[in-house]
A and B are shown apart, each in its own frame.
Chain A
Amino acid sequence: AQSVAQPEDQVNVAEGNPLTVKCTYSVSGNPYLFWYVQYPNRGLQFLLKYITGDNLVKGSYGFEAEFNKSQTSFHLKKPSALVSDSALYFCAVFTNAGKSTFGDGTTLTVKP
């Protein structure tokens, strides 16, 4: 069975500071890892994905994520947070069998 854990329900950072939203996963076979962001009363917006290749993946809005196979982690990062980054962030793992598992989400709050 596959699983995704986002150990922090809430992350608070000050504007301009770096941010990290953590994600660990468990899957048999190759992991296909995704980050999505959800703003209030909206659907999920795709940020970035790891399929294969470079462990550092760059995505939309200045976000990046680092795939670490040994630690089975895929943490989302941004060098300088903006107030507008405040939202709910989801990590997800997909498999070729068509199964998808999403984490419980992490609420990011960026304070001015």
Chain B
Amino acid sequence: KAGVTQTPRYLIKTRGQQVTLSCSPISGHRSVSWYQQTPGQGLQFLFEYFSETQRNKGNFPGRFSGRQFSNSRSEMNVSTLELGDSALYLCASSLESGRAGDTQYFGPGTRLTVL
């Protein structure tokens, strides 16, 4: 099976712009979670989508949003970019939602740089 794929791998934007990142989960996985990884804050949970519905949300401002499509592919959007949004954005997929024993498998990430 193909793993989790994320596009694009690298992105450079300027402050005030918006950006959309894409994630395709492992075939058959219906839950997609997004994380932000920075040197200072570590790995922080953004949100989780399952069956096109947001199931869980971390402590991020409303500028961060996402959605999931009927084929389980997911996108996240960041509006009005700030310098502090520069990070590696990781997507992870799992079979179901709300089953803590399910393993999350991560994609390679999208490296976002905000200038």
Contacts and interface: CB of A to CB of B under 8 A. Distances in A.
Interface of A: 32, 34, 36, 41-46, 49, 51, 90, 94-105
Contacts of B92: 44
Nearest to A94: B100
Interface string B40-60: 001101001000000110000
Contacts of A99: 45, 56
Interface stretch (B13-21, B70-78, B79-87, B101-109): B101-109
Nearest to B6: A43
B105 A46 contact: yes
B32 interface: no
A72 to B, nearest CB: 16
B42 A105 contact: yes
Contact of A96 (B45, B99, B104): B99
B101 A102 contact: no
- B-side interface mostly: strand
A43 B90 contact: yes
Interface-central residue, A90, A97, A100, A102, by most chain B CB under 10 Å: A100
Contacts of A32: 100-101
Nearest to B42: A104
Contacts of A104: 42
Contacts of A105: 42-43
Given A96-B99, A98-B98, A102-B42, A36 B106 contact: yes
A4 B92 CA distance: 19
Contact of B4 (A43, A101, A103): A43
A96 B98 contact: yes
Contacts of A97: 56, 98
A43 B33 CA distance: 13
